[in-house]
Structure 1
Amino acid sequence: MKTDVLGRRDGDADAGPLARLGHHRARDGSDGAPVALDLDRPHAALVVGKRGYGKSYTLGVLAEEAARAPGVAPVVVDPMGVFSGLTESATFAAEVIQHPTVRADAIPPAAWPALVGTDPDSPVGSTVWRAASETGTLSAMRAFVDVPPEDSRVGPETTRAAQNRLRRADSWGVFDPDGLDASALCGPGATVLDCSALDPAPTNAVVYAVARSLYDARVRGAVERLPWLFLDEAHVFFDGVAAPALRAILTRGRAPGVSLVAATQRPSALPDVALSQSDLRMVHRLTAGPDVRALTAADPTYLSAGVATRLPTRPGDVLVVDDTAEAAYDVRVRTRGTPHGGESPRASAVAADDTGDADRSADGRDTGDEAGDAARTADSAGTETAE
């Protein structure tokens, strides 16, 4: 059966690597022809959906496919700690970096005041800004503030406040002179940056540095593989220090060959550029009015019925709006080949485990609950594509 390739023009149907996404979804719910996404050229993709309907699952499917593709370097920013299962594949390589670090000078001096939570026009903010401009490491920034230049006219209160801001940034543990760069991120296989232990500010620092490093490296021709940056909970970063680096990829990433796949539960919290510049929009179930309206405002003219009338209702179903082909497709996302860490824990499972422990302690045998096990197995199969 012929595979439909999204993100490609008809004349390029057989060119380059593909990402197997799933199958067309017929009106009766059955599977139709296979559906894949283009990985040969750079793309800006948006994956949205309410909790539990497959947003992060779909992001994992695309990351699996990118990890298998020759010439592609997938980098996954994992703010929730749910993508470590990618390392369990037997068909591609993947590495999880538990404590990602970046260079302090990868963050532009103008962004440092906002990063440490101060107004750039305030005395404290201008002191931090100057420290970042004059030095290249966080330790050097702190030393600069401890002994300000004679011409700075910084008072002791300002010095103490700036010291406290930079001391807090140091406590995040994300700044290192030997931090990640594009060459370390663009090897074979996938790289997962586990940011689940980090607050939004340090995670924004990591995302800015990584996104900018990938973009700049391709502009300079310093790396050969085409980077694909996968970003979960994207609204946190489009609303933070990382936003300028992400906007650069969205608006200028096509020429150097840098792709961005941004996933969020809250499309209404994204800037207009994230919607307008996405040539692939993958929409799972949405029910919040502001989120539906945000997507409707970006409805393309070729989608006569509108996104709101075609929203999926089942976990794992997705509406893909393809600007390249100027068409929309109802798709059922395939089953992942690696474990998905996004399922929510259940009290019923804990209770069942407690009952099993009690049975084992009573007579030394694992009597368990076969009916409960069967029910859980069936339920797991029915929700395997949930976020």
Structure 2
Amino acid sequence: MTFIKNFEYVLGRDKKEINKFGKIGCGYLGKTIVQMGATFSLTNNIYMDLAKPHIVLVCGKRGTGKSYTLSVIAEEITLFSKQIGKNIAGVMFDTMGIFWSMLYPNYQDADLVKSSGLQPQGVPVNIFINEKSIEKYNSLGIKYKGLIKLAVGELSVVDWALIFRLDINSEEGILLQKVLANIIDKKKEFDLDNIIAAIEKTKANEKAKLLLANLFEGAKGWGLFDSKGTPIDQIVLPGEVAIVDVSTFEFLYGWSVRALVVGLILRKIFDARVTARKIDESEQMSHYIPNVKPPTMEKFKYLPQVVALIDEVHEFIASDTETPATKPLLQWIREGRQPGLTLIMATQEPGILSPTVLSQVDIVISHLLTSKKDIEALRSVAQTYMHYDIAEYFSTLPRVKGVCLILDDNSEKLYTLRVRPKLSWHAGASPNILDKEINKDKFIYK
């Protein structure tokens, strides 16, 4: 079959931006799909804008390729030229412990990668873990960049209440408020031992004191807290992608602690980027207004624009539950445009997401969905440029991993895409004891 390349699509850019910038600052996602009789062919390239802020939703039922798509986008950030890369960074929150394998080439799918005009290669991601994971990573021979430490003084009463699932108006909740208020008045930096000591000295119900002290004693075993946290500019580096492995928190408060890590890092990035935007604006103004001088970079922890990629986001910002990550995520969604923050969220349950998420999404990448509730959620996102119901589009998708629908508000178009093969190894596939080599789809790669 002859392949004819007509043109290329760029998600997230209007015609004026495409004419001005072309594909610069974009990531290559894959190719559009055209059905010709019983055969499906891959035709035009699709790119996604990463140069300006977007809210992107990646969804699909289990095993359809959400995590794969996330890591393809992360790969693209690492592939930018130095000129573009110095202005962007990625932070990927790994809830399943699968993205460490991006350090290694995708030799298992080498033929597929090469047939797409690419070459297998590991990508330079920086893996961050907690203290309790050091032995596991070392025993498995997995390289990591550094440790994630959260400064105890940066956590609010609400954060602790959400982690420990305490009613803030209960005896324990009121005691927590009193203890933290007293410590903050006296110290800027403190650790969990300081909190426990303050609890024991406070006059209060002994049962409440014992319960609260035991909760903080248990938190000491998470390998996460210290008087000083990991500086955000050690995690967010220009042209690089940090993988923050939160999958190892598997105890009673596992998802709450994961949400705390996600939420606190997002808050610190947001604050740093607000400052960075003032520096950027001052720099730009200085070219037009003689008496305006931008502040020197040495005085601030300057962060480039950031793309945050979050897997299983429904665990952090569901419509009926608040977590320590909920407010920071909503802040990114509502206010992240001006600081230059892109949020890419993956979920297998879009139907339980906060309505605010769905209302603000400007790019949807949806793999197969079959649940009525989830399809209804996408209907709420669907725009007037769709000619048919979203369920009809899903019914025409070929049942092959990596195939998805794309809704792009910027171009007001819908596309059918096959995500490109990963350059790096993917550890998120389902294991199969039969060890079969299955490659029976009907796509033609040109």
TM-score (norm 2): 0.75
Residue 237 of structure 2 corresponds to residue 183 of structure 1: no
1:115 deviation in Å? 1.4
Stretch of structure 1 that moved more, 103-112 or 327-336: 103-112
Question: In 1, Cα distance between the equivalents of 2:178 and 2:361?
Answer: 36
Residue 256 of structure 2 corresponds to residue 201 of structure 1: yes
1:59 deviation in Å? 0.5
Provide structure 1 residue ranges, at least 5 long, that are not aligned to the other structure: 350-375
Identify the match of residue 85 of structure 1 among 83, 101, 105.
101
SS in 1 for 2:422: coil
Identify the match of residue 25 of structure 1 among 18, 21, 33.
33
1:54 deviation in Å? 0.7
Structure 1's 104 and 304: CA in aligned 2 closer, same or farther, altered over 3 A? farther
Question: In 1, Cα distance between the equivalents of 2:244 and 2:389?
Answer: 36
Instruction: Give the corresponding residue for 2:196.
Output: 142
Question: In 2, Cα distance between the equivalents of 1:130 and 1:173?
Answer: 25
Amino acid of the structure 1 residue aligned with 2:153: D
Provide structure 2 residue ranges, at least 5 long, that are not aligned to the other structure: 106-120, 131-147, 185-189, 277-300
Identify the match of residue 419 of structure 2 among 329, 333, 339.
333
Instruction: Give the corresponding residue for 1:276.
Output: 359
Question: In 2, Cα distance between the equivalents of 1:39 and 1:108?
Answer: 33
Stretch of structure 1 that moved more, 91-100 or 33-42: 91-100
Structure 1's 137 and 302: CA in aligned 2 closer, same or farther, altered over 3 A? farther
Question: In 2, Cα distance between the equivalents of 1:88 and 1:105?
Answer: 38
1:308 deviation in Å? 2.0
1:129 deviation in Å? 2.9
Instruction: Give the corresponding residue for 1:115.
Output: 163
1:167 deviation in Å? 1.8
8 Å Cα contact 1:232-1:263 kept in structure 2: yes
Question: In 2, Cα distance between the equivalents of 1:284 and 1:132?
Answer: 45
SS in 2 for 1:26: strand
SS in 2 for 1:259: strand
Residue deviations 1:287-330 (CA, integer Å, cap 9, x gap): 11111111112222222313222123431111111111122111
Amino acid of the structure 2 residue aligned with 1:378: I
8 Å Cα contact 1:4-1:34 kept in structure 2: yes
8 Å Cα contact 2:162-2:256 kept in structure 1: no
Residue 92 of structure 2 corresponds to residue 38 of structure 1: no
8 Å Cα contact 1:87-1:96 kept in structure 2: no
Instruction: Give the corresponding residue for 1:156.
Output: 206
8 Å Cα contact 1:186-1:223 kept in structure 2: no
Question: In 1, Cα distance between the equivalents of 2:122 and 2:211?
Answer: 52
Residue deviations 1:94-129 (CA, integer Å, cap 9, x gap): 111132332223332222212111101111012223
Residue deviations 1:59-82 (CA, integer Å, cap 9, x gap): 110111122231211111001011
1:139 deviation in Å? 2.8
8 Å Cα contact 1:75-1:230 kept in structure 2: yes
Aligned residues: 352
SS in 1 for 2:149: coil
Identify the match of residue 220 of structure 1 among 268, 271, 275.
275
Question: In 1, Cα distance between the equivalents of 2:77 and 2:180?
Answer: 36
Instruction: Give the corresponding residue for 2:90.
Output: 74
Residue deviations 1:22-78 (CA, integer Å, cap 9, x gap): 011113321111000001101111100011111110011011112223121111100
Counterparts of residues 1-387 of structure 1 (less than 5 Å): 1=5, 2-13=7-18, 14-15=20-21, 16-28=24-36, 29-69=40-80, 70=85, 71-88=87-104, 90=121, 92-99=123-130, 100-133=148-181, 134-135=183-184, 136-148=190-202, 153-188=203-238, 189-198=240-249, 199-221=254-276, 222-239=301-318, 240-311=323-394, 312=397, 313-349=399-435, 376-379=436-439
8 Å Cα contact 2:400-2:441 kept in structure 1: no
SS in 1 for 2:259: helix
1:92 deviation in Å? 4.5
Residue deviations 1:262-297 (CA, integer Å, cap 9, x gap): 101111121111111111111000011111111112
Question: In 2, Cα distance between the equivalents of 1:156 and 1:378?
Answer: 63
Question: In 1, Cα distance between the equivalents of 2:122 and 2:227?
Answer: 34
RMSD in angstroms over aligned alpha carbons? Answer: 1.9
Question: In 2, Cα distance between the equivalents of 1:180 and 1:87?
Answer: 23
Question: In 2, Cα distance between the equivalents of 1:315 and 1:132?
Answer: 50
8 Å Cα contact 2:65-2:367 kept in structure 1: yes
Stretch of structure 1 that moved more, 192-201 or 166-175: 166-175
SS in 1 for 2:437: helix
8 Å Cα contact 2:104-2:122 kept in structure 1: no
Stretch of structure 1 that moved more, 219-228 or 201-210: 219-228
8 Å Cα contact 2:305-2:340 kept in structure 1: yes
1:382 deviation in Å? 5.9
Amino acid of the structure 2 residue aligned with 1:97: F
Structure 1's 131 and 309: CA in aligned 2 closer, same or farther, altered over 3 A? farther
Amino acid of the structure 1 residue aligned with 2:41: S
1:141 deviation in Å? 1.9
